[in-house]
Structure 1
Amino acid sequence: MAVPSGLGVIVDLAPVHDGARPAWLALGEDGTISRWDVATGRHEAVATTTVPEEPDHDPFDGRQLRRHLHASHDGRFAAVVNDYGRFGEVLDLRAGEITLDLENDGGHQETVPFSLAFGQSRGRCVVIHRTEWNRLDVSDARTGSLLTDRSLPEPPERGPLPEHYLDYFHGALYVSPDGKRILDDGWVWHPIGLPSVWNLDHWIGDNKWESEDGPSRVNVCDRAYYWNHAMTWIDSVRIAVEGLGDDDEEMLPGARIFDTTRTDEHGMAVELLAFEGPVGPFFSDGTRLFSGGASGLSIWDPEQGELLGTVPGISPTRHHASAGQFLELVEGVVRLWDAGRVGAGSMG
């Protein structure tokens, strides 16, 4: 199906779950944010972003600066950020106002997407966002108030590192389905990709240092020169990470499944299974693992590593979890597949 002409050129999409029908937020090339019902084609403009351009951006390893649209679960708040850049903003779509200007303060920002995710804490919507290369903060999405105020220590030129110092470049963020934990696809020097997990509730409510060295923080795995690749929560315990191997030059296509609530003898998350096959973006419906490679969408059993089925003709980059929709946008045409109708050929 074609994108409605009134939406213009779409640069990103984000699912929202604020009604009986599944809907998407669409970010236009001109900065307009619209609410779009893909099934009916109806759409309405709800806000306009003013995130500045970054003309001096120097790409790292081919990673071009790009606009990324995030949405809170209920669709009230949106965030627009410059992935692999420094700037962004949070918007209250109901009030039509910017509630928080974002800046990640540099520090190899060209190596990672802008760290940001929406969550819930004690009945309010919060936004988790990178404010320095080694610091994440949590702010109230409605008021912009900082909820994780703390002073990070500076490392000495020589000698042991101070308490709470985190030598870690934060990357893409993923909140668990139950909203209680967060997965961070970051890296450490020299460089090594080192995804980590910790408890979001504890961080906001009990320990402001939880994201640095809290007791719930667990490293998942380490891979030399390998981050910014597919990963997803399968449920609120298990995650799937793309790539078989521990070095980018020897990586094979496949998935590794980890239990993030248990650790092995090295203090890393327990690896449950590794199997060949899955490539591209990863998604999950709580039971199955979906991978969106160039040849189409594949469906996997993450407990046995078995291929359950394929959906040719669509390589989705977005997943509407509550609606079971997978979406690919290519040159103004939307390809949509409904996972609730497996075998029905329900591709738009």
Structure 2
Amino acid sequence: MSTPACGHAEPVAGRFCSHLMADDDAEHHVRFTGQGTEHDLLCADCADAGASAETLRTVCATCMRERLGRVFDSLGVIGGPEVLSRPTALRFEHREHTLPALAGTSLLALAPFVQQSRPSWLVVDASGGLLRIDLEGGALIRLGTLSAEDVQLSAPLALHVSPCGRFAAVVNVTGRRGVVMALASGAVTMRLDRGGYHEEHCVFSVAFFRDGSRTRVVHATAWNRLDVSDPATGELLTPRDLPPRERDKPAPPHYLDYFHCGLTVSPDGAWLVDDGWVWQPVGVLRSFSLRRWLHENVWESEDGPSLKELRACGYFWDAPRCFVGERILAAWGFGVDEEQMVDAVMLYDVESGKLLRWFAGPPRGALAFDGRFLFASAKGHGTSVWDLETGERLHQAPELLPTAWHPAARCFLTVLGDGVLRESRLLA
């Protein structure tokens, strides 16, 4: 292994122009070579002049990551990475279901029952009805009704179902309110309120997870505070007192200057990913241990030892993301600024906080993982299938833009309207 010019005993990960090597404060362009994801970092003068190989110096992954992570030092992107593809026999099989009871009504939110292998779904209809749909049997069961006190039906909704299948949370996506409901009775067991401070810029923070045999719900209770509660009773499980920050005085211990946004829980319920932002604004993708938070340190979500910052991006948060392993998160977008993001998927280890690798190509849209392949669904692109190991695109279905993904049944569902729903499954 040759030692990079930066002098660190790590493999070469890229190149800087000599001016960046000499000036730690210089701003940079990212220039792709067109060979895979290979890229150089160039100062403004070298980018204008077209830096030659003689003026470039090799650097390690640590140096490259540190420089790329400087949100306000990026001047732009030159060229683009190579998108790899491989022909396969993969294809999607579609099956349509007509439910006359849904004709004439719109579906405001939809989510899978993830504990069932059959394609069972929950939906919220235009009247506020919470319904369960079993496509195999064609059954439509009303579980409860949402009122104006619960959520604003005229604003976008999000629906979340607990892993045990006993609870659902319905929230206004960029509003301040929501509820948790017991599906067996349709009763509201918790009312959620995250406050009214810039909530319009943040996806509502709520997610269910399993802590041993118990189901828990993590939810925002203020712009900069998350809590965990028992969804059956509403009991608060992370009580802590934090005095407000006073003007012109140092922040109190554990004070968090961070807007919580969309949450993603690891498959085993051990880790939480929060795609929020801080003033500038800069999106900051964070992860921390749910186990430590509940059982060891009530301040874990503020400044605990397991807390890691995976990346920072100017004006960019609540990006597409999903877990592709117990500890590996796939997050869309290469770059450090919303206007300079490159179509790509970044793979992070949420425990160490390290970027493992990345590949180019997946467009900005919903991400899903079936245990083998990564799916990317985006308007104008349809749904593409990607090999996580090689970063190759294996198939693209331009006509498939699904509404939701069922991880247990491994199928997409598309709401076609007038009571017609379409399942789509990947076949070899």
Given that 2:346 and 2:355 are in contact with CA atoms closer than 8 Å, whether structure 1 keeps it comes out as: no
1:138 positional shift? 0.7
Bigger relative contact order (CA 8 A; separation at least 6): 2
**Rounded Cα–Cα distance in structure 2 between residues aligned with 1:109 and 1:253:** 27
Output the TM-score relative to the length of structure 2. 0.73
Given that 1:4 and 1:41 are in contact with CA atoms closer than 8 Å, whether structure 2 keeps it comes out as: yes
The equivalent of 1:280 in structure 2 is 365
Amino acid at match of 1:26: V
Q: Secondary structure at the match of 1:212?
A: helix
Q: Secondary structure at the match of 1:249?
A: helix
1:151 positional shift? 1.3
Of 101, 108, 132 in structure 2, the residue corresponding to residue 6 of structure 1 is: 101
Matches within 5 A, 1:301-316: 301-316=387-402
1:72 positional shift? 0.9
Amino acid at match of 1:4: L
1:233 corresponds to 2:320: no
Unaligned runs of 5+ in 2: 1-95
Distance 1:335 1:37, change over 3 A: same
Distance 1:261 1:66, change over 3 A: same
Distance 1:31 1:147, change over 3 A: same
The equivalent of 1:34 in structure 2 is 131
1:258 positional shift? 1.4
Q: Which moved more, 1:17-26 or 1:233-242?
A: 17-26
Given that 2:344 and 2:358 are in contact with CA atoms closer than 8 Å, whether structure 1 keeps it comes out as: no
1:219 corresponds to 2:305: no
Given that 1:153 and 1:163 are in contact with CA atoms closer than 8 Å, whether structure 2 keeps it comes out as: no
Output the TM-score relative to the length of structure 1. 0.89
Tell me the matched-pair count.
329
1:45 corresponds to 2:159: no
**Rounded Cα–Cα distance in structure 2 between residues aligned with 1:150 and 1:115:** 19
**Rounded Cα–Cα distance in structure 2 between residues aligned with 1:153 and 1:217:** 22
1:334 positional shift? 2.3
**Rounded Cα–Cα distance in structure 1 between residues aligned with 2:399 and 2:135:** 18
Of 139, 149, 155 in structure 1, the residue corresponding to residue 229 of structure 2 is: 139
**Rounded Cα–Cα distance in structure 2 between residues aligned with 1:95 and 1:23:** 18
Given that 1:52 and 1:87 are in contact with CA atoms closer than 8 Å, whether structure 2 keeps it comes out as: no
Larger Rg: 2
Q: Secondary structure at the match of 2:352?
A: strand
Amino acid at match of 1:208: V
Matches within 5 A, 1:1-348: 1=96, 4-7=99-102, 8-52=105-149, 65-263=155-353, 269-294=354-379, 295-332=381-418, 333-339=420-426, 342-343=427-428
**Rounded Cα–Cα distance in structure 2 between residues aligned with 1:51 and 1:186:** 28
1:9-53 Cα deviation digits (max 9, x unpaired): 211111113445231111111111111012332111111122538
1:155-213 Cα deviation digits (max 9, x unpaired): 23224322111111000111111111111111111111111111111111221111111
Amino acid at match of 2:99: P
1:321 positional shift? 0.6
**Rounded Cα–Cα distance in structure 2 between residues aligned with 1:271 and 1:190:** 27
**Rounded Cα–Cα distance in structure 2 between residues aligned with 1:318 and 1:54:** 21
1:123 positional shift? 1.6
The equivalent of 2:81 in structure 1 is none
Amino acid at match of 2:386: W
Distance 1:185 1:3, change over 3 A: farther
Identity, % of aligned pairs?
38
Distance 1:34 1:54, change over 3 A: closer
**Rounded Cα–Cα distance in structure 2 between residues aligned with 1:124 and 1:85:** 28
1:271 positional shift? 4.0
Q: Which moved more, 1:171-180 or 1:303-312?
A: 303-312
Unaligned runs of 5+ in 1: 58-63, 264-268, 344-348
1:328 positional shift? 2.2
Amino acid at match of 1:289: L
1:308 positional shift? 1.8
Given that 1:233 and 1:240 are in contact with CA atoms closer than 8 Å, whether structure 2 keeps it comes out as: yes
Amino acid at match of 2:235: S
**Rounded Cα–Cα distance in structure 1 between residues aligned with 2:364 and 2:123:** 26
1:287 positional shift? 3.3
Distance 1:216 1:3, change over 3 A: farther
1:235 positional shift? 1.0
**Rounded Cα–Cα distance in structure 1 between residues aligned with 2:168 and 2:144:** 9
**Rounded Cα–Cα distance in structure 2 between residues aligned with 1:54 and 1:88:** 6
The equivalent of 2:42 in structure 1 is none
Distance 1:281 1:169, change over 3 A: same
Amino acid at match of 2:156: R
Q: Which moved more, 1:6-15 or 1:95-104?
A: 6-15
**Rounded Cα–Cα distance in structure 2 between residues aligned with 1:336 and 1:195:** 32
Q: Secondary structure at the match of 1:313?
A: coil
Q: CA RMSD in A?
A: 2.0
**Rounded Cα–Cα distance in structure 2 between residues aligned with 1:201 and 1:273:** 28
